[in-house]
Amino acid sequence: MKKIFKINGNKLAWFFLAPSIIGFSVFYAVPFLGGLYYSLVSSPINGEFVGLQNYFNLIKNPSFIKAVINTAMFSFISVPLNMILSLCLALLINANTYGRNIFRTLFITPLVVPVASVVLVWQSLFDINGVLNGLITSLGQHPVDWMKTEWARAAVIIVYLWKNIGYSMVLFLSGLKNIPVEYYESAKIDGANSWKQFTNITMVYLTPTAFFVFIMSIINSFKVFRETYLISGDHPHSSIYMLQHYMNNMFASLDYQKLTSAAFVMAVFIVLIVFILFVIERKINRMVS
């Protein structure tokens, strides 16, 4: 019986991988490459090959450009903010002796609150006739239509942070727990102050964790679209019109060429970002060890 199982390592690996790879190929990889075809023809049915024409059109399309800029802006602001705030929170909890576990639980709770509740609460607070404007007018100020001004961007960032800080914090907490106390002790003997200890020990040894948090933060920054969409619909204020809005709308109008070429542009960006990240991570890892 045992002999049957003694296949060589390579084949065995493929056995374990097979279900995942087959499904992954059928439902993602192959159709995704097939999408490339749509981005190169003039029409989805009996279209002519037009080369990169769809891509040129895309770059000239103002709503696409706006969507790219908004998406980039959102990620550049919200991802670092999420990392900094969750790290601060992790450091605070780490230093705090009271109710550590209770706080940890409370901060991670937003993960389980359904999108529908988020939207309900959001409207109650930030509607033109919402609670916040009630408060503002009672202070003698004019009400603001939050979701229809530049404030909308801040609003989406807040939803994102609220939902994701807890998760990132838990990751950072475990990273902190794994730094040996002796490092700090010997640094103290060498006369390093707390800032030096933070930059030379905490920051350095948290790098692998930070890398993971970064990836998770990016994934989740795309997911906040769900909330945004439910709060403000197909055509929100122009400051929060994201690539996902653009693609959704192109899908709705059956414009597959625009949609697939936009998808490929986005894919290229993501590949670049991840690639750069890997290079940086590898360099830092080499420095640490």
Decide whether 52 or 270 has the Cβ nearer to other proteins: 270
Residue 236 in the binding site for other proteins (CB under 8 A): no
> How many binding residues for other proteins (CB under 8 A)?
109
Residue type, 74: F
Closest CB to other proteins among residues 107, 153: 107
How far apart, in whole angstroms, are the C-alpha atoms of residue 122 and residue 231?
Answer: 8
Binding residues among 170-209 for other proteins as defined by CB under 8 A? 170-171, 173-175, 177-178, 208-209
Beta bridge partners of 41: 49
DSSP structure string for 181-246: HHHHHHHHHTT--HHHHIIIIIHHHTHHHHHHHHHHHHHHHHHTHHHHHHHH-SS--GGG--HHHH
Q: Which of residues 259-288 bind other proteins (CB under 8 A)?
A: 259-260, 263, 266-267, 270-271, 274, 278
Torsion angle defined by CA atoms of residues 206, 209, 210 and 214, in that order, rounded to the nearest 10 degrees: 180
Does 74 bind other proteins (CB under 8 A)? Our answer is no
Residue 76 in the binding site for other proteins (CB under 8 A)? no
- Selected binder of other proteins within 16, 46, 49, 190 (CB under 8 A): 16
Per the CB < 8 A criterion, the answer to whether 58 and 261 are in contact is: yes
**Interface residues for other proteins in 212-231 (CB under 8 A)?**
212-213, 215, 218-219, 222-223, 225-226, 229-230
Is residue 31 a contact residue for other proteins (CB under 8 A)? yes
Tell the smallest beta-carbon distance from residue 64 to other proteins (Å).
13
